[in-house]
Amino acid sequence: MVTVTLPDGSSRQVPTGTSVLAFAQEALPARLVRKALAARLDGRLVDLTASIDGDVTLQLVTPDDPGALELYRHSTAHLLAAAVTALYPGVQCGIGPATDDGFFYDFVVPKPFVPEDLERIEAKMRELAAADLPYAREMWPRDEALEFFARRGEPLKVQLIEEKTAGQTEVSCYTIKDRDTFVDFCVGPHVPSTGRLKAFKLLSTSNAYWKGDARNQPMQRIYGTAFFRQEELDQYLHRLEEAKKRDHRRIGRDLGLFTFHPWAPGAAFWLGKGTTLYNALADYMRKVLYPAGYTEVKTPLIFNKALWETSGHWQHYRDNMFLVESDDAEMGVKSMNCPGHMLLFASERRSYRDLPLRLHEQTPLHRNEASGVLGGLTRVRQFSQDDAHCFVMESQIGEEVARVLELVKRVYDDFGLTYQVKLSTRPDEYLGEKATWDHAEAELKRALEAAGMAYTINEGDGAFYGPKIDFDVTDAIGRTWQCATIQLDYQLPERFDLTYVGPDNQPHRPVVIHRAIYGSFERFIALLIEHYAGAFPLWLAPIQVAVLPIADRHLEYARRVVGDLEAAGLRVELDDRLEKIGYKIREAQLQKIPYMLVVGDREASEGTVSVRSRTGGDLGSRPIAEFVRTALDEVALRGRSAAAGSGQTESRR
RNA sequence: GCCGGCGUAGCUCAGUCGGUAGAGCAGCUGAUUCGUAAUCAGCAGGUCACCAGUUCAAGUCUGGUCGCCGGCUCCA
């Protein structure tokens, strides 16, 4: 007999080898058992068919268990594999994990899947689900399993078993018994039977490589998603639609922000309105950084290869650099600002009294990214960062990182953005002393804790030259974008032999903190466009106010209104076309201009404007000066105002 | 870079079996002077991404190049 302890603390004795399901049916409410997908024995996820072989705590896993969805999706991936195996004889299966949004499964097939294949496969999956076939777990002798998969022509599975179960005598396999039995090597667990899988959909196909390595066997990946309830699946699909509507590439064109040309792949043309937005972000960042003690600088765009050899880019990053020749010298267009800033630091004798020295730069960078990775503004070959390097003494690291954290918080609050913080620690391959790393990581942790920032740790994900803190911004529809980064660097000061004179009159090595808050202007603008669905809050809107005269006898007054607004520093556009007011309003609305001022006989005689807001409709008339005042107040609030959320409320309708 | 898909007017798209290219919106011109999401009429707009090839004939078939899209890998 063994003792089973339940979550409520009660316990029972059962014979050794009793299955979880048999125990649950005996000891737990039928309603709970019906909902159960799997179980946790001592916290470890197992199938309901697992046997209880020792004293354990037992908890049934129902859909509200945090691990339930992953298991459910993974089970759906198995269903997909079973369907594909049934429909395409000779197919080889790779792996089929759950992902954040669903699942995928990789296959080796002679011909890539087309959309019609997906329909067929999905239909087969529904058929198998309707048949409610059990997911049976069987422990096979390892030799037998190896032989079985070898005989079935699945060398990838053989390889997996060899790698994952070295030293074991038995391996776990799952079967779905249909006309042809589908067998997969997998640790599980899975839902008890295919009938439990209700709301799933196959979404797309793509190419992938065995183990994600392009030198390995190419495979065809099928992506899908699954939820416990149809309603949740529908919501997810709706969110995909919504995301498509918010695509910054589309909105960027519709709103006249930027464009691309085949002759400059990966480099945007910023149109008038886009440039206004870009500049608004650049100026805002300058206003934030200047009082924080940063000095804006501009360093060369093209450097002799000697610089890149010194920084290490020539050895490690050359493939991603644009190279040019000048006289007989080989030159590289800069892909990062840091090496230039090292030279700038070294251009004068530095005292400890000069530290921290904070250099901020917004000039363009070029990276010759592989053609296949380019896309919209999120991945480009030419971009600018709100980059800065803080040169500090070892003892100033904690304080300086704390200041940067403060800045990040302030900036994201101004945009009304929420974020999550990740601390990435020493990777397997690293430069420098372990003790230095430990110290640096401790400093970063302390700064995060002092700032009251919750963070998660990404073990081993730091840069090879130092640990880092990354910020993932969450947008209006729940997607995350990696933006800000703070990285400690002990290596570059070493490579450039940077020193400052300390209080002891001796040379010392500074530490560099690389940091960016937007990340890159390009990617941040893409984020903002999709976050607001193009409806920028007033302070960012390229055109803040449209003045719409009713008839051309009102043009003179309209021009006066425009003049007053421009004098107050607002970005205004006059629609002086001979069109009906409804037409002008529609256009301004589609351009997502925050305020429309309708002016006709009434307004001209009273010195007022009729205010229409993008989100609130007709707000009635008021004196020009009053409108200017409230508009300026709203601008000053930036994204902290309630109105800044207008982009989101609007999109929900 | 790799795999797959796509490329027709500024945009969204149609174009049958290979037989000399079409719509809506946008644009231009004219008329309309109008009160909170589209006034009417007319006109113009194309090397069917590009380069070869097959064919009496190519937007359509074949090959190559470029670009875009979805992934892989990578990344701000």
Domain locations along chain A: 2-61, 70-238, 287-530, 545-652
- Taking a C-beta distance cutoff of 8 angstroms, is the pair A2, A53 a contact? yes
Greater model confidence, A572 or A102: A572
- Taking a C-beta distance cutoff of 8 angstroms, is the pair A185, A145 a contact? yes
What's the rounded Cα separation, in Å, for the pair A39 and A191? 10
Flag residues 186-215 of A with CB < 7 Å from strand B: 204, 206-209, 212-214
Q: What integer pLDDT is reported at residue A210 of this predicted model?
A: 79
CATH of A287-530, one of 1.10.10.10, 2.60.120.560, 3.30.930.10, 3.90.420.10: 3.30.930.10
What's the rounded Cα separation, in Å, for the pair A545 and A562? 9
pLDDT digits (tens, 9 = 90+) for A410-426: 999 999 999 999 999 98
List the Cα angle A585/A248/A597 in 5-degree steps.
Answer: 20
pLDDT digits (tens, 9 = 90+) for A466-492: 899 999 998 888 888 999 999 999 889
- Asked if pLDDT for residue A387 goes beyond 50, the answer is yes
What's the rounded Cα separation, in Å, for the pair A440 and A509? 15
pLDDT digits (tens, 9 = 90+) for A372-385: 899 899 999 999 99
Q: Which nucleotide is nearest to A112 (CA to C1')?
A: B4
Flag residues 580-609 of A with CB < 7 Å from strand B: 580-583, 585-586, 589-590, 596, 598-603
- Asked if pLDDT for residue A651 goes beyond 60, the answer is no
Percent of chain A with pLDDT over 70: 97
Amino acid sitting at position A131? A
* H-state helical runs in A246-334: 248-254, 272-289, 305-311, 313-316
Active-site residue flag, A8: no
CATH topology of domain A2-61: Ubiquitin-like (UB roll) (3.10.20)
Find the distance separating the first CA and the last CA of chain A, reported in whole Å. 60
Give the containing element (helix H, strand E) for A521: helix A521-532
Q: Which two tokens stand for residue A546?
A: 């449209």
pLDDT digits (tens, 9 = 90+) for A242-292: 888 889 999 999 999 999 988 899 999 999 999 999 999 999 999 999 999
A331 touches strand B (CB under 7 A): no
Mean pLDDT of the residues in chain A:
88
- Asked if pLDDT for residue A649 goes beyond 50, the answer is no
CATH topology of domain A70-238: Threonyl-tRNA Synthetase; Chain A, domain 2 (3.30.980)
Q: Which two tokens stand for residue A268?
A: 């945007």
The residues, any chain, with a CB within 8 Å of residue A465's CB and separated by 6 or more, are: A430, A431, A432, A487, A489, A490, A491, A492
**In strand B, which positions have an atom below 7 A from any protein CB?**
1-5, 11, 31-39, 66-76
What's the rounded Cα separation, in Å, for the pair A513 and A511? 7
Catalytic residue among A74, A196, A358, A389: A389
Burial (CB count <10 Å: 0-12, 13-18, 19+), residue A652: exposed
- The CATH superfamily holding the domain A545-652 is Anticodon-binding domain (3.40.50.800)
Q: Integer distance in angstroms from CA A407 to C1' B57?
A: 69
pLDDT digits (tens, 9 = 90+) for A203-246: 877 777 777 776 677 788 888 888 988 888 888 888 877 888 88
Flag residues 500-519 of A with CB < 7 Å from strand B: 516, 519
- Residue whose structure tokens are 């449209």: A546
Q: Integer distance in angstroms from CA A214 to C1' B49?
A: 29
